[in-house]
A and B are shown apart, each in its own frame.
Chain A
């Protein structure tokens, strides 16, 4: 009999070990105090992304332009690898800047941005398409991309995450305004850090004209431009996040307000988030989040 009582006690004890949460956002507040009127409206979009500790996502910044005829064939391969084999490991941003992004008589849609021009000048990009990963290398021209990505795969860099991002975005489609909260939990210790967090906006799948030497005719009217850089929410090099000594598991949170231009398709817009080193402007880890629920 004593045994049965013990068993029942154990069952009871176990059953109490269960929490039910009715409101996932209870006690969670955004803090940037963006002017999001009608905040409680039904159209408000909340998206979030808690990454795993498993991989370190790198920022792939591709420099291109709509009159760069050699670009599409390299871009296609790059995007394919980024979306499949590197789906958990890469964040794509396509910066339209430089001579091939200039407007012409036939190419009248402007994808350039002051922030994109700043990056182009800062990293001295002069061959197109050019690729910079984590803003840590000299621009690499398209013919060398495959080998470069293979070498990244072999380096093990993806398996060495530095932080775990937890990102939440609240977007009001009526005002085309939103707020993003970025939390970073450090998975390593740092003695003398100077870290920044940055947020950029990209728009995906923009259908517009592009020169493509693999096509006949070369001027393709309905080319789909992927991951187009639309500008930075913070400075393009990020905003200060944490300095000095950082312990393992330390959490830092920053919130920012953002606007979505009326000419951008909000459904296809993403917020690209990065952790950077203010001392050398290199990116350490990146992630992204859509602003509209998918």
Chain B
């Protein structure tokens, strides 16, 4: 049976190469006429570390650490090829030390012809919302689960698009153990059916199947070597309304993440929006149960994730709100809701002011699952049962925030934000300078952000932030002043002060200054000072950033 399966799995690759042959000749002819274009970018992040025991900054024997990246992409007609060079000598603190050394972990070649796109080498891909497959790079998180293999995308016309891929995922400078095979199909019903062509209701349906293979050499359990998962999705628009939904189901996938349970996983993501001039509303909900999906069942952290579980929390940008108590999606199980309302108060009214006022309201809630434990760890190892779409007793996270933005006159612009939040630290297990707080952390955060244009090209911006909490590290204050001389220069100074820390010795200042120069596609910035420990999150995926003191140098360039 296994041999039969392997034979069947070989077929898609054969199909791909036959397709390539058919179109190759015309592709070459077209490319000969097109010019060669080369683009790329470069990014260097480095830091010289100083010893600072007051903030528990880890000792760095090398003193200087650096992460460097350079992308080069060349296109000629339908052909495209590219590579990325990465260098970690050694990796910055907070990045996994397995990022060590230099090399080309990403390179690819692709071509397009008559609706067919073929990529060999590395590629990124996402099916639907990513519930089952999202291969992407977020280098600030140290996350890169790029595929290495073959991908074919085929636009069959009439609104039908198919994608298929086979590959292994990047694991630092190597590849993971597991093989990922996936196929996705999408039909735009308005394009497919003549009768729906001019209808106001726009509908697209899609579905995908993702399978991973990893050898079972576990002495404790009989493990499924092939784990399959499938999903269906719908995306629709009717005038100002739009709706997106996706449901995914994953077969038994025992792994280190779920404690080697054999229960299936399921995920549902729903999002509805309404928008008109001056008003936007979005409501989203999700149910996630046992949906961690990796191409290596033994891995942890952000390693070798096949899928992405969309975050239903606002990604804050102000430092205290963004880095102290952000929420990371819980792949083993959660139910979450989010509501967003953005509206503009009319200009030249008493309530909207001369230029109008933008108001953003946002609220999000996350709960554990409503589950019942099964006493079967010595038997079928399903672990628990869950009531679908029913939130459990345990509240994980809550955030209610409002942002108001108003231009007062030609020189002044004002932005304020208030946020009330709760994070259950028994779940998030955030560990700060005082150790790990056990229980719920409640906090209020307020921000005042003022920008003043002194004269043409010269502007100064000030941020005053406060966080008040009776738990964990107590109260914080932040002051930032930034001066910009457009379009080339900027300088900023910031101080964060944990003035309300219940431990007197931990009432620490974190001063930091940055200076930078921008010219076209080049940007050079130098910073110096203390940076507090915290979490850096993008879309509900987080990385722990340890405290540090020192000088940072950042260079970016694109061409």
Contact = CB atoms under 8 A, between A and B. Distances in A.
B224 interface: yes
- Chain B interface size, as a band, is 35 or more
Nearest to B251: A18
Interface in A1-54: 3, 6-7, 9-28, 44-48, 50-54
Interface stretch (A104-112, A131-139, A164-172, A217-225): A164-172
A244 interface: no
B380 interface: yes
A166 B219 contact: yes
A13 B256 CA distance: 28
Contacts, number: 147
B377 A154 contact: no
Interface string B144-186: 0000000000101000001010000000000000000111010
B411 interface: no
A294 B460 CA distance: 57
A150 interface: yes
Nearest to A85: B431
B387 interface: no
A259 interface: no
Contacts of A253: 219
- The secondary-structure label for the interface of chain A is mixed
A46 B379 CA distance: 8
B9 A13 contact: yes
A96 interface: no
Contact of A80 (B211, B299, B300, B436): B436
A156 B219 contact: no
A255 to B, nearest CB: 10
A12 B183 CA distance: 10
Nearest to A156: B97
Nearest to A293: B377
Contact of A251 (B181, B217, B375, B378): B217
A19 B215 CA distance: 12
- Chain A interface size, as a band, is 35 or more
Interface in A224-270: 251, 253
A81 interface: yes
A14 B183 contact: yes
Given A19-B227, A84-B435, A251-B219, A159 B298 contact: no
Contact of B60 (A3, A6, A154): A154
Contacts of A185: 217
Given A26-B222, A183-B220, A170 B378 contact: yes
Contacts of B11: 9-10, 13
B378 A45 contact: yes
A28 B162 CA distance: 42
Interface in A169-225: 170, 181, 183, 185
A46 B376 CA distance: 9
B254 A24 contact: yes
A23 B254 CA distance: 12
Contacts of A24: 221-223, 254, 260, 262, 380-381
Interface string B195-239: 000000000000001010100011111111111100000000000
B522 to A, nearest CB: 34
Residue of A14, A25, A27 contacting most chain B CB atoms (<10 Å): A14
A21 B222 CA distance: 7
A48 B211 contact: no
B58 A154 contact: yes
A21 to B, nearest CB: 5
Given A54-B301, A293-B377, A17 B15 contact: no
B3 interface: no
Nearest to A159: B97
Contacts of B59: 150-151, 154
A80 B435 CA distance: 8
A14 to B, nearest CB: 4
Contacts of A183: 219-220
A237 to B, nearest CB: 24
A-B CB proximity, top 6 nearest: A18-B228, A46-B378, A84-B436, A17-B211, A183-B219, A19-B224
8 contacts: A10-B162, A18-B251, A19-B227, A20-B252, A24-B254, A24-B260, A45-B378, A51-B256
Interface of A: 3, 6-7, 9-28, 44-48, 50-54, 80-81, 84-85, 87-88, 150-151, 153-154, 156, 159, 164, 166-168, 170, 181, 183, 185, 251, 253, 293
Given A10-B183, A21-B224, 17 more contacts: A13-B12, A18-B226, A19-B251, A22-B380, A28-B221, A46-B378, A47-B377, A50-B256, A52-B299, A54-B303, A80-B436, A151-B59, A159-B98, A164-B298, A166-B220, A170-B378, A181-B219
